[in-house]
Structure formats: structure tokens, C-alpha cells
């Protein structure tokens, strides 16, 4: 596992699974604790720049979710939404003897962070390019589902060539469907270069594949585009029939929320290149039935609407936009991300 200088990996055994956890070597543990939750097709390795940029009085723990990184490969029950993941994180927090922690979630991990806060005490929440509170794909602005079977979402939406590249451990730069190409085109902004790109590809390649993990299973549908969400595996956890964390607006105790995003994000956007309805609208997928039937998901607008309701009900949130930055602001601008996170953590006290 390609660890940066100053980062240590430890296996934490819980009653749920054996989880790999990254910490800063010799870090202080007498102050607030931030727990970092990575996104889909990645691992805790992506959090290393931000962890190292944090001030020393904030302890940092980055947890590999089941089936990713160095954690145990365990099946994912998608009918629970992302609760398999959030309960795993809580088991690690409990095993480490931490109190209410500051949860930091990226992409799918943002959904995990919100589910964590719904089920367990959290001191604050930081969302980096989070999945919409209503899941990925298949909903209107108010979160209502487009079809009863969530057509066009879940495991069937993964590109088979990309899944095959993950299974093959493909590190080449020639395969347009391989992890390196996907990282360059979708995880970061156009033109961003890093000397750590091999590490990010290795992180992506730790993804366990199959119907119980990534991407998950799929079922046939009479609705366009011909498939619907299944009940197993990672992508199905974010199908709107399984996932809805908009209930945060009703939390009795509302931890402050920091929302960080890049304005060049290709994945979480109101015009996402990974939303099949948007691709149909763009003519990439044939047979699109039109905006009345299959509108593109307004991911950013949905998140903002839920957070506005959160604030109206007594909570507070702030939105920070990184100009010219893609899906991973903490990779492209780790110092700025860490500065914002540190201020957020200290302001939550």
C-alpha cells in the first residue's frame, strides 16, 4: 500500500469486520478527531494529502470501507442504503474509543457521513462533492423517484469495460476505460497533474468487484434504459429506493455542515457525465424518452435545497466552491481544504 511519509496504516478488528485505518504517525489524540470516509472506487489513500495538511491538534483517521483499500472484503446489502458502510465506520470509532467525531465524507462517502450522523452522534459534518441526499440518479428536484424500480440507476449503470479493467488490475495509460483514464477525466479537473497519480490508480484498483461489491447486481426493467437497481453491491446502495438521507433536516441535534465542491466536477453535478438520464439527453445513450419522463438529476440543487431546509430548521451550513477544481478538491488543493476543515472543526466546539 503506497503510504506517504507521516502516514501509518493499522488494522482495526471490530465485531463487523477488519478495517484498515490510516492515521498520522505519532499524532496527538488529546483534541478533536476527524474521521475521513472515502468515495466509490477509491480508498483512504486519497485522503493522505489533506490529513498531512491538518494542524497537529486535530487527530485524523481515514477508514477503508468494506471491499475497498485494505479492509475486509465483505458483501454490501444495498437494501440498507449505505448503512453497511456507516455502521462499519461507527464500529471502528467505537473500537478506537473515540467520542462524537467530526465526519468527513467524499462523494459516496458524503452519503455515508450523512447516514452516520442520522444514526450516531457526530460533532460536525464535512461533505466533499457529496452524492445527493436522494441518491445517484432517478429523482426529480424534490427527491421523488422517477420510476418505482429506479430505472437507470444502480449496478447496471457501470461501464463493463471499466469493471473489467479493475478486475484485471490495469495500470496502463492507453486504456480509455481504465482507472488512470477515468481518474484523469473524472476525478480531477482537466489539466491537473500530480506526482502521486500512480498512488491514486493503485487506490482505485483496491476496489473489490462483483455483484456483492462493485458495481452490484441489476434487474431488467420495462422502463428506459432497460435496467433497474438491484439489491446487492455498491452502486445499488445509492439507488433512490434504498437511499434517502434528507432526514437530516429533522435531527434534534444538528451538527454544523461544511459543503466543499469543485466547480469543474464531472461526477456530482447538475449535468453529470455519470447520470444516464443526462447522457440520454445528450444523445450518448439512444432512445431517451424526454425530460418529462427521464430528466437529468439536479444533484447540486438537491443538496442545496436540503441544506437550506437544514438551516431553516435550526442547523447551519456553509458552502465553499473551489474554482477550476474537479471531483476531489482535497487532492487538488489539500492545504486550502485542510484550512477550511480545521476552521470548521474548531468552530463546532
> Could you read off the pLDDT of 71-114 as tens digits, one per residue?
999 999 999 999 999 999 999 999 999 989 999 999 999 999 99
Per-residue pLDDT band for 286 (boundaries 50, 70, 90) equals very high
The mean pLDDT value for 312-322 works out to 98
Within the chain, what is the greatest distance between any pair of CA atoms?
58
Per-residue pLDDT band for 335 (boundaries 50, 70, 90) equals very high
Query: Residues 220, 81, 263, 187: is their CA dihedral positive or negative?
Result: negative
Q: Are 66 and 84 a contacting pair, CB within 8 Å? A: yes
Q: 118: closest CA among 237, 252, 282?
A: 252
Instruction: Measure the CA–CA gap between 113 and 320, rounded to whole angstroms.
Output: 18
DSSP 169: T
Rg (CA), the chain: 19
Q: Are 48 and 54 a contacting pair, CB within 8 Å? A: no
Q: 253: closest CA among 89, 97, 120, 103?
A: 120
Three-state secondary-structure class, residue 124: strand
> 81 burial class (0-12, 13-18, 19+ CB within 10 angstroms)?
buried
Per-residue pLDDT band for 1 (boundaries 50, 70, 90) equals confident
The mean pLDDT value for 267-287 works out to 97
Instruction: Measure the CA–CA gap between 259 and 261, rounded to whole angstroms.
Output: 7
Q: Are 68 and 206 a contacting pair, CB within 8 Å? A: yes
Task: Establish whether the linkage from the previous residue to 154 is cis, with ω within 30° of 0.
Answer: no
Neighbours of 16 (CB within 10 A): 17
pLDDT digits (tens, 9 = 90+) for 210-243: 999 999 999 999 999 999 999 999 999 999 999 9
The mean pLDDT value for 285-290 works out to 97
**What is the reported pLDDT for 136?**
98
pLDDT digits (tens, 9 = 90+) for 23-38: 999 999 999 999 999 9
Put simply, whether the predicted model's pTM sits higher than 0.85 gets the answer yes
**What is the reported pLDDT for 255?**
98
Mean pLDDT, the chain, as a whole number?
97
pLDDT digits (tens, 9 = 90+) for 196-219: 999 999 999 999 999 999 999 999
Per-residue pLDDT band for 123 (boundaries 50, 70, 90) equals very high
pLDDT greater than 80 at residue 349: no
The mean pLDDT value for 51-61 works out to 97
Q: CA distances (Å), 154 to each of 43, 137, 193, 326, 335, in order?
A: 20, 9, 31, 23, 34
- The grid coordinates of residue 56 equal 497537529
Instruction: Measure the CA–CA gap between 318 and 24, rounded to whole angstroms.
Output: 27
- The grid coordinates of residue 79 equal 437494501
**What is the reported pLDDT for 277?**
98
The packing angle between helices 83-95 and 108-119, to 10°, is 70
The mean pLDDT value for 322-349 works out to 97
The mean pLDDT value for 30-48 works out to 97
Amino acid at each position: 500500500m503506497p503510504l506517504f511519509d507521516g502516514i501509518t496504516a493499522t488494522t482495526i478488528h471490530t465485531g463487523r469486520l477488519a478495517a484498515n485505518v490510516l492515521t498520522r504517525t505519532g499524532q496527538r489524540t488529546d483534541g478533536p478527531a476527524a474521521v475521513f470516509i472515502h468515495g466509490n472506487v477509491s480508498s483512504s489513500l486519497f485522503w493522505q494529502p489533506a490529513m498531512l495538511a491538518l494542524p497537529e491538534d486535530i487527530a485524523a483517521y481515514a477508514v477503508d470501507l468494506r471491499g475497498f483499500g485494505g479492509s475486509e472484503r465483505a458483501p454490501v446489502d444495498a437494501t440498507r442504503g449505505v448503512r453497511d458502510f456507516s455502521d462499519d465506520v461507527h464500529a471502528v470509532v467505537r473500537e478506537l474509543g473515540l467520542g462524537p467525531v467530526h465526519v468527513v465524507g467524499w462523494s459516496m462517502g458524503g452519503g455515508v457521513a450523512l447516514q452516520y450522523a442520522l444514526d450516531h452522534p457526530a460533532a460536525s459534518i464535512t461533505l466533499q462533492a457529496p452524492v445527493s441526499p436522494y441518491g445517484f440518479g432517478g429523482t426529480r428536484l424534490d427527491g421523488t423517484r422517477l420510476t418505482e424500480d429506479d430505472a437507470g440507476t444502480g449496478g447496471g449503470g457501470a461501464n463493463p469495460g471499466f469493471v473489467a479493467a479493475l478486475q484485471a488490475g490495469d495500470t496502463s495509460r492507453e486504456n480509455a476505460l481504465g482507472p488512470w483514464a477515468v481518474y484523469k477525466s473524472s476525478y480531477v479537473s482537466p489539466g491537473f497533474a500530480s506526482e502521486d497519480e500512480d498512488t491514486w490508480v493503485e487506490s482505485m484498483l483496491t476496489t473489490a468487484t462483483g455483484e456483492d461489491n462493485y458495481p452490484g447486481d441489476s434487474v431488467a426493467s420495462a422502463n428506459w434504459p432497460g435496467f433497474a437497481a438491484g439489491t446487492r453491491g455498491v452502486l445499488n446502495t445509492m439507488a433512490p429506493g434504498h437511499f434517502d438521507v434528507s432526514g437530516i433536516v429533522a435531527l434534534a441535534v444538528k451538527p454544523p455542515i461544511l459543503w466543499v465542491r469543485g466547480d469543474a466536477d464531472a461526477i456530482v453535478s447538475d449535468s453529470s457525465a455519470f447520470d444516464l438520464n443526462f447522457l440520454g439527453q445528450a444523445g450518448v445513450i439512444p432512445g431517451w424518452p424526454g425530460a418529462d419522463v427521464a430528466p437529468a438529476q439536479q444533484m447540486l440543487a438537491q443538496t442545496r435545497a436540503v441544506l437550506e431546509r437544514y438551516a431553516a430548521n435550526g442547523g447551519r451550513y456553509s458552502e465553499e466552491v473551489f474554482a477550476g477544481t474537479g471531483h476531489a478538491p482535497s487532492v487538488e488543493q489539500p492545504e486550502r481544504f485542510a484550512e477550511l476543515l480545521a476552521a470548521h472543526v474548531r468552530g463546532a466546539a
